[in-house]
Chain A
Amino acid sequence: DAGITQSPRYKITETGRQVTLMCHQTWSHSYMFWYRQDLGHGLRLIYYSAAADITDKGEVPDGYVVSRSKTENFPLTLESATRSQTSVYFCASSETGQGAGEQYFGPGTRLTVT
């Protein structure tokens, strides 16, 4: 399917477990982003990537790790999940740099940490 997809769509995990959220885009966009969405905070940027093998921190990177070995994939890993990481996670991609143009969002992953 064309576009940007995320998997899984829903995930329940326990505190301390490692969790990886997947993001895949078919447009060959250079830029990819991970956001979390929480009530009262809107969307906050976790990490972003300008190209394969280039990543940088966003506003709330602590507790998360990213990698980008291929242009089309941008996985987000929670190395040791905490309850505060319960949230909805959105992946996005863009042809141009941060903020320079529109971003295309995936459907989101709802993560619950118990």
Chain B
Amino acid sequence: SQQGEEDPQALSIQEGENATMNCSYKTSINNLQWYRQNSGRGLVHLILIRSNEREKHSGRLRVTLDTSKKSSSLLITASRAADTASYFCATDPRSDAGNMLTFGGGTRLMVKP
């Protein structure tokens, strides 16, 4: 079962625009992570936000976390063609069943030059 669900499933924007992707999850978490996957490649970690944090920045990336709404957003500012990829959120749920990192289905971002 997927703990995280990304929205939208696909997003197409022009270079220079901002891209916003959302992630919703179902249970309480310890942290939430965002990963990028270029076509045909493995996933690359972008940023981790802990449950007691509300916002985090890394370069052109801004991640927010609202634990009351069980949701997170990833904002990529001033997008570039090289940002074209799939983006996944992954949650570390608090669970007696074990500390498993579960991934959402991803958002496919296309940045047109």
A residues within 8 Å of B by Cβ? 33, 35, 40-45, 56, 58-59, 90, 92, 97-108
**Chain A interface helix/strand/loop/mixed:** loop
| B113 contacts A by Cβ under 8 Å | no
How long is the Cα–Cα vector from A39 to B51 in the complex, in angstroms?
29
How long is the Cα–Cα vector from A44 to B100 in the complex, in angstroms?
10
Contact in complex: A101, B100 (CB < 8 Å): no
Tell me the number of A-to-B contacts counted with CB atoms below 8 Å. Answer: 66
Query: Closest A-chain residue to B32, C-beta based?
Result: A99
CB within 8 Å for A43 and B31 given contacts A58-B100, A59-B1, A99-B101: no
B residues within 8 Å of A by Cβ? 1-2, 30-31, 33, 35, 40-45, 48, 88, 90-93, 98-106
Contact in complex: B41, A98 (CB < 8 Å): no
Contact of A99 among B44, B45, B100 (CB under 8 A): B100
Contact in complex: B99, A97 (CB < 8 Å): yes
How long is the Cα–Cα vector from A42 to B43 in the complex, in angstroms?
12
A101 neighbours in B (Cβ, 8 Å) = 48
Query: Closest B-chain residue to A101, C-beta based?
Result: B48
